[in-house]
Structure formats: structure tokens, C-alpha cells
Amino acid sequence: MRPVAIIGIGKTPFGAFPGRDLRSLATEAIGKALQDAHATPSQVEAFYLGNFAGPSFVGQNHLAPFVASGAGITGVPCTRFEAACASSGSAFFHAWSSVAAGIYDVVLAAGVEKMSSQPTPKVTGILASAGDICGEIRAGATFPALFAMIARRHMHVYGTTREHLASVAVKNHANGAKNPDAHLKKLITIEQALKGKPVADPLTLYDCSLISDGAAAVLLCPLERAAEFTSHAVRVLGIAQTSDRLALDEKEDITTFAAVAKAGEKAYRMAGVSAKDIQFAELHDCFTIAEIIASEDLGFCPKGEGGPYCLDGHTSLSGKRPLNTSGGLKSKGHPVGATGVAQLCDVALQIRGQAGERQLAHRELGLAQNLGGSGATCVVTVLGAAA
Amino acid sequence: MRPVAIIGIGKTPFGAFPGRDLRSLATEAIGKALQDAHATPSQVEAFYLGNFAGPSFVGQNHLAPFVASGAGITGVPCTRFEAACASSGSAFFHAWSSVAAGIYDVVLAAGVEKMSSQPTPKVTGILASAGDICGEIRAGATFPALFAMIARRHMHVYGTTREHLASVAVKNHANGAKNPDAHLKKLITIEQALKGKPVADPLTLYDCSLISDGAAAVLLCPLERAAEFTSHAVRVLGIAQTSDRLALDEKEDITTFAAVAKAGEKAYRMAGVSAKDIQFAELHDCFTIAEIIASEDLGFCPKGEGGPYCLDGHTSLSGKRPLNTSGGLKSKGHPVGATGVAQLCDVALQIRGQAGERQLAHRELGLAQNLGGSGATCVVTVLGAAA
């Protein structure tokens, strides 16, 4: 396997954009990524698109050639990947694999979702199709309900509190307020978060990520060719995609995600690093409890201590290991299929020193963790400076 | 890139099975493929699942880990591929890539679709999501309508007749009648086909493939390890996935599929063969005209002569180059997401000499062609005996 670099990044703002369709969002992000790498559509040898539920949200299947042709890319393999909220993490994993293995040199990975055209109850129903529809979903669960059960169990076993959950929301809102492309730019207090409208006990509105439209794209090539395109290359040091059962009731312990722990271990091993070396990360905070559990499963803090770890400020912009400097899914927004690649763009932005008001001083080694459903797919990627 | 072998094949019968769900179909095919290769689920290093519209047909997304865990496969990368009717062709292409590039040794590619639970008009609507919903589909077209326009144009330019189309149906019904796993086992005459109920002029019911439930799976490994598993290994000699625009009105010529011609050329080049060397093939006869055009685009006969080529008997079981010995999508059935891998199983069955009543004498070199939508994705694979 040869070293691989991200040579171009591009994102749309995230938000609710009534006037924008799925294809225009995707082609905007692709255009930006190509421009960032000084590349043209004709240089793209294969296209990997993550999209969760375009067929349900906007009625369009067969999305990879549909999006690609809109961006001027035809003829080459164009493939759609669906892995719930880890759809574009999975697309990126396969794009990386193909370059690392020497199949292609220049490939494009992107993600897109257009969610805001559907009313919220419909969105909740579509999102539920990422759970086990024959079991937990048929029994009446939605994703907020599943993560509420996870949060409740974590509280019971480890003493995690509502304040711990709220501290994740407060931090991510503070970061998002500094991100010009974030869906929400709104500072909140612990008190506000605690008094949020109940969604699924113990989760309130402030514990839940957003329903967003948006797209993100990255261009990849072998590290040895990166200088042909850019002086801002970011290296993929380690990556892994893993899987687990869908249904919560089939898992031995719902306070941990086996797929996350395993993906982390594999990605660390490939990168030759350990958790302590990771300076910052974008974690999949679809719900506040998910960031807490991810910070534990990836070894950033001991098991069960993810809540205090955030409340005590270790994960804020000025903390020892800032998490979700972009604002995370909570504040940046969560256009499901775009999230995995968007996380990589945000980690790359930090490593390139282009994160503006959110820029970290120590940003040589970052991580992105993209979770599908309630943990049945996970993709963890470790990125570092190319030079 | 190292040589890759198919070491296990497994299929469910195709048909309308009210009592079977999507997961049970997929796990049956996977179980058979593993058993055929004397392999266990724990040996599978990655899982590639083709599925077109499980979310729309049965409400389930995140299908790869859902199916995999049902088959006893967890932890490893489990990924769903959606490329309309070429979904499992694309899954197989990526599975092959990963073994050829040395990323994994033992990988499983499968395809599944459960369609019969929806009424026919709903199925037609779901299938239409593989076309350009902002253009041709919004204008009122369905897939039968799109292929009717293609047929009409082929008739206008090349003199193709209704009899030519009907001859494809008659041949494929005859082959399907000999296939114990086919959805339809019903001999028809040219006269019957011509008098079929009109669907979209000039296509009648006999020109259209079936709405089926079913699944198929293949196990792959490096050729050098094939003997550890089986004495029936089949070698992947050449393969390519290509793409084109979705909408018919964006294509210069609708009597040919650019993605098919290009995939054929690339697969031939990789295999070091030309069209004349291919002894038999499974072609994507979603409509009779599609088989005719594929036989031209792949170079089996001159452009425009696909109709007479079939009517004159060259593609029948006793002809010079038998096409769709399985019965094809027309008679074997077309559970959309399963079709690509099912075609590979059927080509492998011939090469292994296990095709029963349909067995060909000359079966050293076969081809499978899997088409997505009205030609926006194509996967062509050339298979040969491993020894």
C-alpha cells in the first residue's frame, strides 16, 4: 500500500436551503475541491459518492453518475455508497483504498444530502430506516429514542449527568459560532441546554444534531504526486472501516460502540500512533452522548469519563484535545451523506492552518470518526501534515 | 494487480416469494456461496453488497451490516453499493478490485432485491428513480417508456422489427424453461410475443423483464489461493465499470450505450481477448431491445444487426454464441440488486460444466454485462476457467 494524500477540499455551507437541489450542492463542493487542487474533471479517474437517502429525501437513485455528469465527470467508474450516516466515510475509505493499492492515481470522494425539503416527522422516519426495521424500529423507536436509551444506560453505569451531555452541546455551539459555514451560529449556555425542549428523555433539542442540506468533497492522489497539485497536501496516515450488528438489543453493551473501538485501533496501528498522540478530532456527535462515547472508545479518556472530560474543558478550543472544532454535527450541521467527507475537510483545514477563528496551534495530527446508525458502521481516519 | 478467482457461487431461486424477507434471501445466497467454497463467515475479510432500492421496497437502509450480521459476518468492512440495476455488478467490481490490489484475500460480493411486496405501479415508480427525475421522469417517462423510445429509434435507424425483439423473448423463455431456478419456466412462440399486451409501444409484456425477489453471492480470493477452497475455481480475466449521463436526452445516440462499449473494450483489453473469442454471455436484457443493443455494443455482431443476429438463431443454446443461457432477466427474473452477481454465477456455472440441461459444449470463455438504468452505469466481466 502506498501513501495517499488529500490534495483538494471543498464544501458547501451547511443549512436549510430551499432553493438548492441535491445535484447543485454536490457539484458546488466538487468544483471547489477540484479548484483547490488546481485539477480538472477530466483528471478524475474514479468517483466515490456517499449518500444516505437521496431516493427517500428527493426521489433520486443512481446518484453517482447523476452527480458526476453534472460536474463534468463521465466514463469513469462512478459509485454510490450507502452506510447510513457513515455513507461518505465509507466512500472515502474505498477511494483511499483504490489509490493506496495503486488502482488509480487521482480520485474524488464526495458526500451529499438534501434533507430540508421534507417535514421533520418524515425526516425522522427516513433516518429510522438505518435502524433494524424488523426489530427496534417496528417496536416504535426512532434514532433520538435509541440514543436516549444509550445515554440513560451510560448515566446508570458511569454516573454521566445531563450537565455532561449539555457541556458537549455548549462547546460545539461555541465552535460552530466561529465557523462561517456552520448551519447554526448560536452560543448557548448550560442552563439553556438543560432547559431544552424534551425530544427523548434524557435528550433535549440541544442534544440532537441538525437536519441540514450540504455537500463536501475531497480529491486524493498518491503522496508522491501531491506536489504536482498543491502545497497544502494532507496525508492519510491511517484508516479503517468496521461494522457491527444494527439492533441495540443484539449488542452486549450499549455504552460502547464495538465498531468504533475496533476502527480506532486499526487506524492507530496503520498510522503508527496511539490515542495520546491525536491532537484534535472531529467526532460523530449525532447526539451529545455519541461524542462522549466516541471520546472513550477512541481512548482519549478512560471508559465512562467522557462526560467529565468535556465538562472540565479538555475538549474545548483551548483544551488539551479539542473535539469538533468545526461545531460538529450539533452546530455545523448534519447533512447525513455529506458528514464523513465534511469531517475530513475540517480536519484538513486545521492541519493546513486555514481554520480561521477556530485555528489550533497544535494541529499536526488529527482524527475523524464517522458513525453509521447506532454503531453498525464506523470509519476512523487519522490525518497528518504531508511534509 | 494479481489474478483473482471466484471460488464459491450461491443463488436463491428467483420469483415472487411472499413469505421471504430481504435478509433471509441474502443470507441463503451467502450461505450457499460459502458452502460451495468450503469457507466460513469468519474467513470473510470484507463484504460488498449490491442493492438498488431496499429502502423503497422494504423500508430498510444500512443494508450491508444488516445482511452481513445475519450471515454471521461482523467487524469487517461491510458496504452497500447502489448503481440502479448494476448495483451488484458494481459491488463485484469493487470486491474484485480489493483482491486484485492485494488489500484483502477472501471477500464476499452479493446482491439482493425484494420487489414483490409492492404493487406493480409502485415498483414502476421506484424503478423510475434510476432515471433523471428532474428531466425525463418528471416529464412522465417510465423505464418501459425510455426503452420503448430506444427501440423505436433502433427500428428507425437500423430496420429492426418487432419480430427481432420477439425472437429475444422466445429464446430467453426457452432457456429459462430449462433453468430450475428461473422465475418463469414457460415456452412462448414468436406469435405469442407479438400479441403480448402492450406496455409502451413497441414493447409488449414479453419484451419486459420480470419483477422478482432473489439474491446471489460469490466468494473471491487470489487465484494462487483458490485451490485451498475448491477445484471449481473460475478466473476473472477482465473487468471494467464505466458511467455515462442518466438522461436519454443528454445522449448523442440512443441506439448505443457508450458505457457498454467502453466497459467491453476495457474488459477485453484486460483479458487480452476480443469479442470474437467470447463463446457465450449473460447480457442485461431488462428489455429485449437492451440485449440486441448489448450484442452490438460488445462487438458480437455488426452495429444494427443485433435483431437478425438473434432471429437467425446465432444466440440460441445451439447457436454460435449463446446469449442468456440462464433465461436472462426476461425469464430467469430480475431482482434488480441481485442481477449483476447472479449473471456471474450463471457464467461460472457454465464454465464449471454444471449448467444442467443448458450446458454448453464450448464454455471456456464467458462474459457478463450488467447495465444500470438506461446506460449510466455498466459493468462488464470476462470469466474463464482457472486451470
pLDDT tens for B107-143 read: 999 999 999 999 999 999 999 999 999 999 999 999 9
A358: cell is: 477556530
pLDDT at A304 over 80: yes
Catalytic residue among A154, A164, A284, A334: A334
Distance CA B110, CA B128 (A): 23
- Residue ranges of chain A assigned to CATH 3.40.47.10: 4-119+211-234, 139-210+236-385
CA-to-CA separations, B382 to A158, B156, B365, in angstroms, rounded: 56, 32, 7
- β partners of residue A107: A46, A220
Q: Model confidence over A160-208: pLDDT tens digits? A: 999 999 999 999 999 999 999 999 999 999 999 999 999 999 999 999 9
A241·B79 Cβ contact <8 A: yes
A58·B133 Cβ contact <8 A: yes
State the residue for C-alpha cell 473460475. Answer: B234
State which residue of chain B sits closest to A82, comparing Cα positions. Answer: B80
Q: Which of A79, A126, A136, A286 to mutate to test the interface with B (most CBs of B within 10 A)?
A: A79
Mean pLDDT, chain B, integer: 97
Whether the Cβ atoms of residue B46 and residue B106 lie closer than 8 Å to each other: no
Chain pair A-B, CB pairs under 8 angstroms: 181
Q: What are the φ and ψ backbone dihedral angles of B366, each rounded to 5 degrees?
A: -125, 165
Q: How far is A125 from chain B (nearest CA, A)?
A: 10
Written as one string, the DSSP assignment of B233-245 is: -EEEEEEEEEE--
Distance CA A214, CA A337 (A): 9
Residue A242's pLDDT band (boundaries 50, 70, 90)?
Answer: very high
pLDDT at B202 over 90: yes
Residue B386's pLDDT band (boundaries 50, 70, 90)?
Answer: confident
Whether the Cβ atoms of residue A287 and residue A252 lie closer than 8 Å to each other: no
- Residue ranges of chain B assigned to CATH 3.40.47.10: 4-119+212-234, 126-210+236-385
DSSP secondary structure letter of residue B230: -
With beta carbons under 8 A apart, name residues in chain B contacting A377: 62, 64-65, 78
DSSP secondary structure letter of residue A183: S
In this structure, the number of other CB atoms found within 10 A of the CB of residue B269 comes to 12
Whether the Cβ atoms of residue B36 and residue B226 lie closer than 8 Å to each other: no
A239: cell is: 484508516
Q: How far is A312 from chain B (nearest CA, A)?
A: 33
- Where are the alpha helices (H) located in A60-187, listed in sequence order? 63-70, 87-100, 120-128, 143-158, 162-176
State the residue for C-alpha cell 436463491. Answer: B12
B48: cell is: 460488498
CATH class of A4-119+211-234: alpha beta
Q: What is the pLDDT of residue B116?
A: 96
pLDDT at A387 over 80: no
A230: cell is: 498543491
Q: How far is A361 from chain B (nearest CA, A)?
A: 35
Q: What is the mean pLDDT of residues B49-69?
A: 97
State which residue of chain B sits closest to A70, comparing Cα positions. Answer: B245
Q: Which of B243, B244, B248, B336 to mutate to test the interface with A (most CBs of A within 10 A)?
A: B243
**HSE, side-chain direction, 13 A CA sphere, residue B272:** 3
- Give A163: exposed, middle or buried? Use CB within 10 Å, 0-12, 13-18, 19+: middle
Which of A291, A260, A262, A277 lies closest to A166, judged by CA? A291
Distance CA B234, CA B353 (A): 11
Which of B11, B326, B282 lies closest to B173, judged by CA? B326
Which of A379, A331, A371, A349 lies closest to A168, judged by CA? A331
Share in percent of chain A as helix, strand, coil (round to 5) = 40, 20, 40
DSSP H or E stretch at residue B102: none
CA-to-CA separations, B262 to A205, B210, B245, B257, B265, in angstroms, rounded: 51, 27, 14, 9, 5
Catalytic annotation present for B334: yes
Which of A44, A41, A8 lies closest to A230, judged by CA? A8
CATH of range B4-119+212-234; options 3.30.310.80, 3.30.43.10, 3.40.47.10, 3.40.50.720: 3.40.47.10
Q: What is the mean pLDDT of residues B228-250?
A: 97
Q: What is the pLDDT of residue A337?
A: 98
Which of A176, A187, A243 lies closest to A212, judged by CA? A176
**Nearest 10 degrees: CA dihedral of B230, B232, B237, B240?**
-80
Distance CA A223, CA A243 (A): 28
Q: Specify the length of chain B in residues.
A: 387
CATH fold of B126-210+236-385 reads Peroxisomal Thiolase; Chain A, domain 1 (3.40.47)
Which residues, 6+ apart, have CB-to-CB distance to B369 below 8 Å?
Answer: B260, B263, B264, B281, B282, B283, B284, B294, B298, B343, B378, B379, B380
pLDDT at A15 over 90: yes
Written as one string, the DSSP assignment of A88-118 is: HHHHHHHHHHHHHTTS-SSEEEEEEEE-TTS
B246·A69 Cβ contact <8 A: yes
Q: Please measure the distance between the N-terminal and C-terminal CA atoms of chain A and give it in whole angstroms.
A: 19
DSSP secondary structure letter of residue B361: S
State which residue of chain A sits closest to B80, comparing Cα positions. Answer: A82
In this structure, the number of other CB atoms found within 10 A of the CB of residue B153 comes to 16
Catalytic annotation present for B301: no
- Where are the alpha helices (H) located in B159-202, listed in sequence order? 162-176, 190-194
Q: What is the mean pLDDT of residues B31-40?
A: 98
Q: Please measure the distance between the N-terminal and C-terminal CA atoms of chain B and give it in whole angstroms.
A: 19
Closest partner residue to A129 (CB to CB) among B61, B245, B246 is B61
- Where are the alpha helices (H) located in chain B, listed in sequence order? 22-36, 54-57, 63-70, 87-100, 120-128, 143-158, 162-176, 190-194, 258-271, 288-297, 306-311, 328-331, 339-351
Instruction: Please state which CATH number belongs to domain A139-210+236-385.
Output: 3.40.47.10
Q: What is the pLDDT of residue A386?
A: 87
Distance CA A291, CA A164 (A): 11
Which of A88, A115, A81 lies closest to A340, judged by CA? A88
pLDDT at A128 over 90: yes
Whether the Cβ atoms of residue A94 and residue A77 lie closer than 8 Å to each other: no
Q: Specify the length of chain A in residues.
A: 387
Q: What are the φ and ψ backbone dihedral angles of B110, each rounded to 5 degrees?
A: -145, 165
Q: How far is A343 from chain B (nearest CA, A)?
A: 20
Distance CA B203, CA B257 (A): 19
Q: Model confidence over A134-168: pLDDT tens digits? A: 999 999 999 999 999 999 999 999 999 999 999 99
In this structure, the number of other CB atoms found within 10 A of the CB of residue A250 comes to 14
Angle between helix axes B22-36 and B63-70 (nearest 10 degrees) is: 60
In this structure, the number of other CB atoms found within 10 A of the CB of residue B48 comes to 30
pLDDT at B387 over 90: no
Distance CA B158, CA B238 (A): 31
